[in-house]
Structure formats: structure tokens, C-alpha cells
Amino acid sequence: MGKKQINIFLWIFIFFIILSLFYYFIIYNRNSSVDNQDITYVRAKVLEVIDSDLTEEGYIPGVYIGTQELKIEILSGEFKGQKLILTNSRLHGDLVYDVVAENGIEIVLAVKEREGQPSSFGVDTYSRDKVLYILIFLFIFVLIGVGRIKGLMALISLVITGLLIAFFMLPLMFKGYSPILLAVITAFIVIFLSLMLIGGFNKKSLAAIIGTSAGVVIAGIISLISGRLAHLTGITGEASEQLIYIVSSFPINIKGIMFAGIIISSLGAVMDVGMSIASVVFEIHTKVPGLSKAELFKSGMNVGKDIMGTMANTLILAFAGCSLSIMILLMAYNMPYFRAINLNTVSTEIIQGLSGSIGLILTVPITSFISALFIENRKQEV
């Protein structure tokens, strides 16, 4: 990729950042989704666990019920530097939300302020952001260190994807627009920018874009039809269930969220297959320019058969990994197969995995055909 192309994409990247920030600060921030203005969250360090009255709950190690008396120092916000003693009552035998404080760890405090009354402090959760920032930095370092300019282009593509999801797709979902339509639009933009950034402005990238877009659309259509035939609700977990309680305030299409999630979750794997097949076909043409369209298509299919097996496994295993706790729960209750296969949650996970895999598999012949077609056209022009 030449310097001119790099400059063009950097300007595109800057444009998206400016557009996203404008949308967020001017439009999206006008309507806060949740009114929590009287509650702020700050970082704090546990200086000492003064007293700990804990009882281990049941047979799960690390789960406790009780209270702790803590001496803490606030590390951020309006009360930074203030030391105080408070009671940690966030211990209800809940492995997900409980906080078992130890000397030296950092936690998040919820500070509630009311007019005319002193501020109250409560333990909210563990402070995990520093670990996440270190991991993000390591990811960027490895990506650019190994991929060089390609890695930088991939990073820019990833940032644009995140901006599109956070400041375009999600806010418009809150306003009642179709999640499926928004997911498709987001996917098309991500596919175009990502593959053009990585592959450059050429027919190879265009072939990969067409093949990938077709695969994603096919996955979305199959999931939508299957979901309706199977009477799926779109409610698959605790977060989805909580959305029911905010629908009265926001016109959110809950059922559409599940199918939008399938499109977005399968996007990365399908893009990988599309670009891989296009690169193979164009590379073969470069090395053996005398091959016919049919031979190039066959070569793309032969390589694609090897790729599709591993990538289909990638999608299926990704969905299976997310559903691991559900599968263990079904085994623990010794649930009959016929009932388990008909459960809303199980059916949803199966349709998600299979729809994405079908779209991925069909990306191979579509991309192979388009790549061979483009190469023949270019050859005729020469």
C-alpha cells in the first residue's frame, strides 16, 4: 500500500472520529439513558481490612456471606486523598457481584450525593480497568509489532468498528430503529473499510468485500427465518431479561437484537475467509497467469474447503464456549434431550452457531467465483 493510500485512510479515520465525537457530544448525550446523576463512581484502595465477619456459603469455594469493616483511601474524583472507614455489605453469597476485600486491592466505590445531606459511600465492584488497559496495550503492541503497516491498518479498522457500534448502531437501537437493519448497515461499512484498509484499493479487496457481504447477509437471513419458525423470543440471558424492564422508557426491539448479534458476531470470521480466498485466487493468478476462470475457481474452492472446516469450528466453538455454563446446568439437572433441545436458550445458541457457519461456508464459493471473474476481466483488458 502506497503512501497516498495510507494518507487517504488516515483522513477517513480522522473523519470518523470527528463524526463520532460530534454525534456523541451534540446528539446522543442530550438524552441520558439512565438518570444516575446523583451517583458517581470513584477508585479506592483498601488500606486495611479492620474486621471480617464472613461465613462460607454452601459448597462453592470463595463465596461468602457477612460483612467487612474496611479502611480505605479514595484515589480519584472529588474526594481524592480522603481516608475513611466503611462497612462492606456487598457479600450476599453471589459469586458474580460480591466483593471480598483484601489489603492493598483497588475497588470501585459508589458515591451518592443528596442535597443538604452528607455523601454516602458503598462498595460497588472490583477495580478491573487497569488490567484491561494493560491487555489492550499488549494487543496493540503485538498487532503492530508483528503486522507492521498491515497491523496498523487492522488497528484503525478495529477502532472504526468500535466507534460504529458504540456511537451509531447502539444509540439508534435505543431510538427504536430496527436492530437487524442497523447491524447490516454497520457490517457493510465495517467490511468495506476493513478490507480496503488491509488489502488496498484493488479488485482483490472488492472481491473479498462482495463475498463477505453475501456471507453475512445469508447468515442474517437464515437466522431470521429460523428464529421466527422456532418462535424464539430473543431473550437469552440475564442482560436480555433486564432489557424488558427498560422497554417502557425506550422503544427497543428486543427480538431483533438477537439476530443483529448473530450478524455482528459472525462478521470477523466471514471477513477472514473472504479475504483469504480472494488473496489465494489472485496469488495463484500472479504465479500462473495462464489458468482459466474455471481453474482459478476450482483452486479457490480447494483452498476454501480446508479453511471452512477450521473457521466453522471457530464459530461453533465460540458460541459453545459462551453457552458452557448452560450445558453444565442441563447436565446437572439431568434434563431429557427432547426438552433440552426445545428450550429457548439452547435453540437460540444452536441457530446462532449454525447460521453463522452456513454464511461462512457459502462465502467460499461466492468469493472464489467473484475473484475468478474479476481476474478474467483484468486479463482481457491487458
Q: At what angle do helices 293-322 and 324-332 cross, to 10 degrees?
A: 50
3-state secondary structure 9-30: HHHHHHHHHHHHHHHHHHHHHH
Same domain, 176 and 211: yes
The answer to the question of residue 58 being in a domain is yes
At residue 1, the 3 state secondary structure works out as: coil
234: alpha, beta or left, given left = phi > 0 and alpha = psi -120 to 50?
Answer: left
Same domain, 63 and 201: no
* 182 confidence band (pLDDT: 50, 70, 90): confident
Residue-wise pLDDT tens digits, 100-137: 888 999 999 988 877 777 788 888 888 998 999 999 99
Q: What is the mean pLDDT of residues 265-284?
A: 87
Q: Is the pLDDT of residue 209 over 60?
A: yes
Q: Report strand pairing: 83-88 vs 64-74.
A: antiparallel
Percent of the chain with pLDDT over 70: 80
Q: Tell me what pLDDT residue 26 has.
A: 47
Same domain, 163 and 209: yes
Same domain, 172 and 258: yes
Residues paired with residue 110 on neighbouring β-strands, in sequence order: 41, 122
The answer to the question of residue 228 being in a domain is yes
State the alpha helices, DSSP H only, in the chain: 3-22, 129-164, 170-174, 179-199, 203-229, 238-243, 254-287, 293-322, 324-332, 337-341, 344-381
The answer to the question of residue 20 being in a domain is no
Same domain, 149 and 119: no
The answer to the question of residue 11 being in a domain is no
- The DSSP call for residue 38 is T
CATH of the domain at 45: 2.40.50
List the domain range (segments joined by +) for residue 231: 144-381
Residue-wise pLDDT tens digits, 214-228: 998 888 888 888 888
Q: What is the mean pLDDT of residues 18-26?
A: 54
Residues near 248 by Cβ (< 8 Å), separated by ≥ 6?
A: none
Residue-wise pLDDT tens digits, 358-377: 888 899 999 999 999 888 64
State the alpha helices, DSSP H only, in 23-128: none
At residue 321, the 3 state secondary structure works out as: helix
| Across 106-110, 144-148, 151-155, 244-248, least confident range | 244-248
Q: What is the pTM assigned to this prediction? A: 0.73
At residue 80, the 3 state secondary structure works out as: coil
